A and B are shown apart, each in its own frame.
Chain A
């Protein structure tokens, strides 16, 4: 069987010491995180630095929620990328779509469990579901649960269906035994006539994902955007601001993953340079849009005609208490974006450069996410309260960084379980493949 991109199966078929070492290291990180979670469950949220805003002069939502917003955005961005690729049947980007399906699922799950970790009574998370029929009419948190659930369900459907198609085109006997088993399971009852139907299903599901990303995808932004009590959250641009951050971080995480895979597994054929050019262009555009939206959101607040509450928040961000973090975050998006725009060819060759700038951009979005969440709570307005303080504790850091490392761990394991895309040659008849 001569294929043009059979390097796509390399991650599946190899198992290097380096990989095992990575899994061990990430596994240890996961255990440390677990310990921190258990610690928090035992002692309650008192182990964090969160405190009520008002007389306790703290912030009641901290880096768990900031990281939730970051992961949720990444999920939305990955979802949009998958939808776009599948709907337009961009075969060359097939591998990117698979990476996107996995990341949408993993970051969606990460966002979901971070919310649970942030609850004072995580054991009661089901109350949110039992009250759902009533609360969904007005509680944005209930909308959020609805959206994240929809995202997880639809992404899973996309992953399962696209894997069914991809496995149907492969010789399962040549795959590692567990992958073959998974393939058997997912291609259960597959008939060649189904191919066409599957193709069109993927296409329309792609459209559905796109629509979900651009509509429901704004809900985590509205979670903050509808809160009239908090200047700096409230406003009509919150959904767009969240979406723009999501699109950028979604593409960034795909670019990082693609770059790393290509570098580690020599997947030059499967991940040709033009894929990186495409990703690089998307990242440049989304980075630009992100910056425009962020400043659009902020600048009016420091204008002399702005309401006092808004201006306190805006000023703290632009040249007050948070200025260093804010400008670092903006720089972390702006500079890579400019580099990408100016040195496109050199940056994109090989994918490593793109991966590096993507990491920086993701970090920038993460920092800005934190600022967005905590800042208005710190600079509360209305009643004469003091400005709050917030210094995340070790537990909070361990759980937050742990959640990122666990996401990487999950993805790494996934690369050994499922093929990263489909084989692109004209496969012999499916019959042959099935044997």
Chain B
């Protein structure tokens, strides 16, 4: 049965059977799961308040999962909260500060007599009741930095795949140290986080930055982008790469077209590029490419797992469920409220972590950190500033 296609009537037997099957797959308490799912639907339909929902199951959820991490939790969760198996039926109709802002905007548009179809973001479409086009698929990754050996092959494969110039590191492996007492070097594999509540979209004055409805991938419409870089300053992760000059990278062989929008592959001069989750693969006719990314394919230690975060059978969810090896899981800078769709397995870099001195290894792949035409960066040249 298709997990993203539940029967409508939550009181029907068909729904019960569907929910039971879905919850059963997770290995958690079936009765609790089904109850949660049904009432989550009621919350979504406004038949039950979030507070009631929260209170009704709090004890049971704590018993079962050890933590009550549901989105209706009244209190902010700690940053390293573990990813909870998705409750069936709630899909990804996430509520958040920014989506509320956009909802308000959509209502405002209504009064102006303008079509909500003009809205580009899926959040708005979903929130304004345009339920048919809403999809339950939210692509994301589980990245196991504990496995990462900083071979940088993902970075190389990404630039190759997307025809990026050497300086646009859509995928970057950061090397860092936590303190001066140990020489422990740790790695952070850092693509765009494809946030569900992406500040880069809120910032964009041209609507060029958008979330693809079908799978929740955050993309840039290269034909709209005016190169203002407001998305770049508002993203907390530093994943945006403006093409300052004519990109001198390799060729991008696939089709740049993603549902009629020029959004795949390297960004043209003067526009903003960033990781697209290999969007061209996701829309490819070749089914073997769908659901894959170049970085995931090439990783020799299987640290990157790409797939639908709402599907418990997906590679990332399976990894999180079975293969974390007892390592902690977290989302990057979760307190920024961006709702990132990358879940990391391993140690989270602290705010005081510093980049390690010495070569970072990019040059082995003809990748560079310094922007073309700018003078070279001396690694560790700013020690005194801190």
Q: Which residues of A contact B (CB under 8 A)?
A: 43-58, 60-61, 115, 118-122, 124-125, 127-128, 131, 133-135, 137-142, 145, 227-230, 308-309, 312, 316, 320-321, 377, 379-387, 389
Contact = CB atoms under 8 A, between A and B. Distances in A.
Contact of B238 (A53, A124, A316, A389): A53
Contacts, number: 206
Interface of B: 98, 101-102, 104-105, 108-109, 112, 114, 118-120, 167, 169, 172, 174, 176, 188, 190, 199, 202-208, 224-230, 232-246, 269-272, 332-333, 336-337, 349, 351-355, 369-374, 377, 379-382, 385-386
A120 B226 contact: yes
B108 A127 contact: no
Contact of B167 (A48, A56, A128, A382): A56
A389 B376 CA distance: 10
B224 A227 contact: no
A56 B241 contact: yes
Contacts of A122: 226
Nearest to A47: B373
A47 B237 CA distance: 26
A119 B228 CA distance: 5
A369 B229 CA distance: 18
Contacts of B167: 56
Given A44-B269, A385-B355, A387-B382, A229 B234 contact: yes
Contact of A138 (B98, B333, B374): B98
A139 B205 contact: yes
A61 B242 CA distance: 11
A294 to B, nearest CB: 21
Contacts of A316: 385
Nearest to B225: A121
Given A120-B228, A121-B226, A229-B236, A308 B352 contact: yes
B333 to A, nearest CB: 5
A58 B374 contact: yes
Contact of B332 (A47, A125, A383): A383
Contact of A119 (B101, B226, B370): B226
A46 B246 CA distance: 9
Contact of A133 (B114, B353, B374, B379): B114
Nearest to B105: A137
A128 B102 contact: no
Contacts of B230: 139-141
B270 A55 contact: no
Given A119-B228, A131-B224, A387-B382, A56 B370 contact: yes
Q: Which 7 A-B pairs have the closest CB atoms?
A: A120-B227, A54-B238, A137-B105, A120-B270, A46-B245, A384-B176, A387-B382
Contacts of A380: 238
Contact of B174 (A229, A308, A384): A384
B243 to A, nearest CB: 7
A383 B244 contact: no
Contacts of A49: 374
Contacts of B228: 115, 118-120, 128, 141
B199 A135 contact: no
Contacts of B118: 133-134
**Which residue among A53, A56, A141, A142 has the maximum number of chain B CB atoms within 10 Å of its CB?**
A56
A421 B207 CA distance: 45
Contact of B245 (A43, A57, A138): A43
Query: Which of B337, B369, B382 has the most C-beta atoms of chain A within 10 angstroms of its own C-beta?
Result: B382
B226 A127 contact: yes
B235 A120 contact: no
A128 B205 contact: yes
B226 A55 contact: no
A129 B244 CA distance: 23
A53 B205 contact: no
A120 B371 contact: no
A52 B243 CA distance: 9
Contacts of B354: 384
Contacts of A138: 98, 101-102, 105, 202
B236 A382 contact: yes
Contact of A60 (B98, B204, B229): B229
A228 B238 contact: no
A120 B336 CA distance: 27
Contact of A386 (B243, B352, B382): B382
Name which of B101, B353, B370 has the most chain A CB atoms within 10 A of its CB: B370
A396 to B, nearest CB: 12
